[in-house]
Amino acid sequence: MDTTSIPINWFLMLSTALFVVGVAGVLIKKNAIIILMSIELMLNAANINLVAFSVYNNDASGQVMALVSIGLAAAEVALGLAILLNLNKLRDTVNVDDLSILRW
Amino acid sequence: MVDYTAITPEIVLALFALAVPALGMVMRSSKVLAAFSLVGVALTGLSVWMITDGYSGPVAFQDFVVVEEFSLLFMYIFLAVAFYVILASAVYVKDDKHKPEYYSLILMATVGMLFVASASDLFALFVGIELTSMSSYALVAFKKKDVKSAEAATKYLIIGGLSSGFSLFGISLMYGFTGTTSFSGINDYLSTLGAENIEMVWLAMIMIVVGFGFKISMVPFHMWAPDVYEGAPTPITAMLAAGSKKMGFVAMFKFFLIGLIAIKADWQLLMAVMAVVTMTAGNLIALNQTSMKRMLAYSSIAQAGYILMVIPVATDYALAGGLFQILTHAFMKGGAFIIVATLAVAAVGDKISDYKGLAKRTPFLAIAMTLFMLSLAGIPPLAGFASKFFLFSAPIEAMGGGNDWLMWLAVAGILNSALSLFYYVRVIKYMLVEKGETEEKLKLPMSMMAAVAICLVAVIVMGVYPEPFYQACLDAAKSFFTFLA
């Protein structure tokens, strides 16, 4: 890795911040669509890590993993939106607090 | 020339998964589609058998799939689960519009499980888990008009997404720190590493444990399991409990017992505590459940605690016991869920009190359920006793050399088994002793009875003649640990 490029720490800080925002979003937000977006943030934080480490370790496999995981994330969103659409059709809500039929 | 031997089972099964919807364009009969999927599972089993027959050592594909005895054992378990789930589904989904997709998704989920069984790389394993998880999100949501199914799918989706986010972040940190994602590569790197540099590995490990912990419903990451198990179509619940959860254990075993075995002293106590907490919490909450499916879900969590015991003990006897427990649990829990599904087809509710006087209405299912319950509780001479015996004796065997505290794992396991007997026997009492509101005989579909019969035969045979099965598990465990070197 050449010395002029950005130090690895900066990438790690960015990805950690994104990941924390994602986890906080999943835990705090009530709207299932926003929760889905927060999950995307978590996955993208991991992708930043993979690409940064791939350059830093001089090993291309990290970038391949990032590409595969982008594909996985896309599939997950498509499926997630379909499930939420169906939920919205049945219950007329995507608020996770209203999902209380199944408990104890 | 690339050698595709190691991934032939996955290729065969994936082709069948793609062919089912195509066949569904011309044939709408659920029976035909189920039979076609069963042929697919059987042919995949044959291709696994072709690797087993004349097995002379691990078969690799590129550098992320290695098929050895451990993988082969799990492939058979996963295929057996897929087989009886499809068999039980033939009648269960017969009036649904989207039957071909249903079978296709079950086969796809099984392809993911097969990949996890043979993955030798952390990322390949993650992709396999995702393939299974996504297929099962869709399967849980399958009853589109059912509010419970939609709610369960939403919960499963959110928790599953959270768990994959954690695992992927952990994997990326592990990759950055060790420079590799292959399990043996991680182990090589960690064994050369001094004790002072492992904070980053801890961080990655915790993330991955959280991610995989959701999959195996380890306490405190278990909250989703009862909801999803209750809301999902019941044959799918059987698949989640008997297949998808076991896949999580394969991931855990590979990650800890190959990847992180070099720093065993650092995580041993943590995992032991997790195992005890998981089995105790699962059993305590199961005590006052009124829904059969929820009770079985909590009992699954407790069983996950027993199997987790393997990780802190980390000897080949422990792993063999754990494998045997996984094998027997796949049949006794799967069988119990399929009985619930069969009774649901005959309009018997899934409350435990709905099972009153069942012995009069359907003697075969009442007796089968009794045997599954006794087996889950660990009563000889059923399979659950044999596997628990081998599993709980492993910590005792591993004692000595500063490891005497492992004995408490066995003690916790035995006390928990005694506790669990209460809620298992309650079901038996309802079925056999109490009088129901009606004594009218139930008309039940033959294919579902056949699926129950398969599980029942497996539970009895493995209980009466455990030696050959235990030997196979022991061989798989030994091969798993020599694979390290």
| B133 occurs within a structural domain | yes
The shortest CB-CB distance from B147 to any of A46, A50, A101 is to A101
- Cβ contacts (< 8 Å) between B168 and chain A: which residues? 42-43, 46, 69
Q: Do B154 and A22 touch (CB under 8 A)?
A: no
Structure tokens at B295: 């009770």
Determine whether the interchain pair B150/A83 forms a contact, defined as Cβ–Cβ distance below 8 Å. yes
Whether A26 and chain B come into contact, CB under 8 Å, resolves to yes
Please check whether residue B485 lies inside any domain of the structure: no
Q: What does the pLDDT profile of chain B (485 residues) look like in tens digits? A: 788 888 999 999 999 999 999 999 998 889 999 999 999 999 999 999 999 988 888 888 888 899 989 999 999 999 999 999 999 999 898 888 899 999 999 999 999 999 999 999 999 999 999 999 999 999 999 999 999 999 999 999 999 999 999 999 999 999 998 889 999 899 888 888 766 677 888 899 999 999 999 999 998 899 999 999 999 999 999 999 999 999 999 999 999 999 888 888 888 999 999 999 999 999 999 998 999 999 999 999 999 999 999 999 989 899 999 999 999 999 999 999 999 999 998 888 888 888 988 888 899 999 999 999 999 999 988 999 999 999 999 999 888 777 788 899 999 999 999 999 999 999 999 999 988 888 788 888 899 999 999 999 999 999 999 999 999 999 999 999 886 55
Q: How many domains does chain B have?
A: 1
Distance, CA of B286 to CA of B297 (rounded, Å): 8
Confidence class for position A40, pLDDT limits 50, 70, 90: very high
- Which secondary-structure segment (H or E) carries B61? strand B59-61
SS3 annotation, chain B: CCCCHHHHHHHHHHHHHHHHHHHHHHCCCHHHHHHHHHHHHHHHHHHHHHHHCCCCCCEEECCCEEECHHHHHHHHHHHHHHHHHHHHHHHHCCCCCCHHHHHHHHHHHHHHHHHHHHECEHHHHHHHHHHHHHHHHHHHCCCCCCHHHHHHHHHHHHHHHHHHHHHHHHHHHHHHHHCCCEHHHHHHHHHCCCHHHCHHHHHHHHHHHHHHHHHCCCCCCCCHHHHHHHHCCHHHHHHHHHHHHHHHHHHHHHHHHHHCHHHHHHHHHHHHHHHHHHHHHHHHHHHCCCEHHHHHHHHHHHHHHHHHCHHHHCCHHHHHHHHHHHHHHHHHHHHHHHHHHHHHHCCCCCEHHHHCCHHHHCHHHHHHHHHHHHHHHCCCCCHHHHHHHHHHHHHHHCCCCCCHHHHHHHHHHHHHHHHHHHHHHHHHHHHHCCCCCCCCCCCCCHHHHHHHHHHHHHHHHHHHCHHHHHHHHHHHHHHHHHCCC
Which residues constitute the domain of residue B115? Answer: 5-480
Say if A86 is an interface residue toward chain B (CB within 8 Å): yes
Q: Does residue B355 form part of some domain?
A: yes
In percent, how much of chain B has pLDDT > 70?
99
Chain A residues near residue B158 by CB distance under 8 angstroms: 26, 32, 35-36, 39, 96
Whether residue B388 is contained in a domain is answered as yes
- Per residue in B147-195, pLDDT (tens digit) is 999 999 999 999 999 999 999 999 999 999 888 999 989 988 888 876 6
pLDDT of residue B97: 87
Kindly identify which residue of chain A lies nearest to residue B229, measuring between CA atoms: A102
Query: Which residue in the set B148, B162, B168 is minimally distant from A69, CB to CB?
Result: B168
In this prediction, residue B465 carries a pLDDT of 93
pLDDT range class, residue A100, cuts 50, 70, 90: confident
Q: Across the interface, do A42 and B168 touch by the CB < 8 Å criterion?
A: yes
Interface test with B, best of A47, A70, A93, A104 (most B CBs within 10 A): A104
User: A63 and chain B: CB distance < 8 Å anywhere?
Assistant: no
Residues of B in contact with A61 (CB under 8 A): 181
Beta-carbon pairs below 8 A across chains A and B: 124
CB contact under 8 A, A42 and B169: yes
Which residues in chain A touch residue B144, judged by CB atoms under 8 angstroms apart? 86
* A18 touching chain B per CB within 8 A: no
- pLDDT digit string (tens) for B304-328? 999 999 999 989 899 999 999 999 9
Residue A102 has what pLDDT?
A: 83
Among B152, B168, B181, select the one facing A43 at the smallest CB separation.
Answer: B168
pLDDT of residue B435: 84
Can you give the pLDDT at residue B285? 93
Tell whether the model's pLDDT for residue A5 goes beyond 90: no
What DSSP state is assigned to residue B59? E
**Is residue B438, in this structure, part of any structural domain at all?**
yes
